[in-house]
Amino acid sequence: MQFIKPDINLDFIGKRKIAFAFSILLLIVTAVSLVMHNGLKLGVDFAGGTDIQVQFSGPVKIDSVKKALLGVGIEISTVQGFGDPSKNEFLVHMNETIDPESNILEQLKSSFNNTTGVDSNIRRVDMVGPKVGADLREKALYAMFYALLFITIYISWRFEQKLIESAIVAGVLFGGVYAMSLVTTSVPYLMGAALVVSMVLFWKLELKYAMGAIVALIHDVTITVGIFSLIDKEFSLPIVAALLTIIGYSLNDTIIVYDRVRENLYKHNRNEFGHIINRSLNETLSRTVLTSLTTMLVLGCLFVLGGGIIHDFSFAMIIGVLIGTYSSIFVASPILLAWQEKNNK
């Protein structure tokens, strides 16, 4: 079956300004959402506290669950539906940790039964202290930053043979991040500053392929995080795993396009660079679309049938695959053209 004609010639590069405007709009919405929600809604993995998953034998209302919590002295809590609504499951988040050796869970189960009038079953209890949560937040940020850094070094070496320049970038960033970590405790600001410095170094050393790739990856991660903020979903360790997977997926798409651009530069070196990029995008379009569709098929099954535990992970992956496919075509590649136009000027 021929999914996309091999001689297709869509004008992706001609629509790059519209795509840039759309991306900027998404990034602005992300920033506004994060400001309005005072940051992300952190799960127990990062914020610390206690998560209790409880299932009832019949339908109950969230207000009844909160009333039962008040009955055992738990005043500050968040209650939300969990998984399939027909299973009558709820996730209770408390800011404080509970003593597992106390009888609080027995009291809580009795309060649930008496207040709601149906039997309850406490299926899971997760507890994380505030210090552990802070450490996990920091390690998650470091993981994403170093993943981006190693990726850009690899791309600079593979596509531009600038191993020395990429090694300089790596050395400066490693040393700078380590030195700053000794004098500051604000890891988010530290990672943000490191990313800005890396972009400046890529610009000065003319690592254009690395610049295109890292801008696309930051674009994908930021918009995925922004959607989680926009719909007020919890941000937890599985979401970090999803973001790292998205980085790898988006990079794979970008490398396929970049590889074809490099091949076409040798085959059609008399053509304009914009024409070569557009030709490369069209030649890899069938592979890009088919890969995304098959991946989305699997993620859709996970989202619908995977249960509450994997629901947020699969949701983040669905968003990331869509945004990653878009950025490989409309963000990473047009940046190469913008760089070329800058050099021509």
Which fold, 49-128?
Answer: Alpha-Beta Plaits (3.30.70)
Residue 85 has pLDDT above 80, yes or no: no
- CA atoms of 27 and 205, how far apart (whole Å): 27
What is the model's pLDDT at position 6?
64
Once rounded to an integer, what is the mean pLDDT over residues 281-303? 87
- Both tokens assigned to 187: 């890891």
Q: What is the percent of the chain with per-residue pLDDT over 90, rounded to a whole number? A: 6
How far is Cα 56 from Cα 62, in angstroms, rounded to an integer? Answer: 12
Distance between CA atoms of residues 262 and 279, nearest Å:
12
Alpha carbons within 13 A on the beta-carbon side of 259: 8
Mean pLDDT of all residues belonging to the chain: 80
**Domain ranges in the chain?**
13-43+132-344, 49-128
Check residue 306 and give its pLDDT. Answer: 75
Fold of 13-43+132-344: Multidrug efflux transporter AcrB transmembrane fold (1.20.1640)
Q: Please choose, from the candidates 212, 217, 245, the residue with its C-alpha nearest in 3D space to the C-alpha of residue 315.
A: 245
90, 81 in Cβ contact below 8 A? yes
Q: What is the pTM of this model?
A: 0.77
- Residue 7, pLDDT > 80, answer no
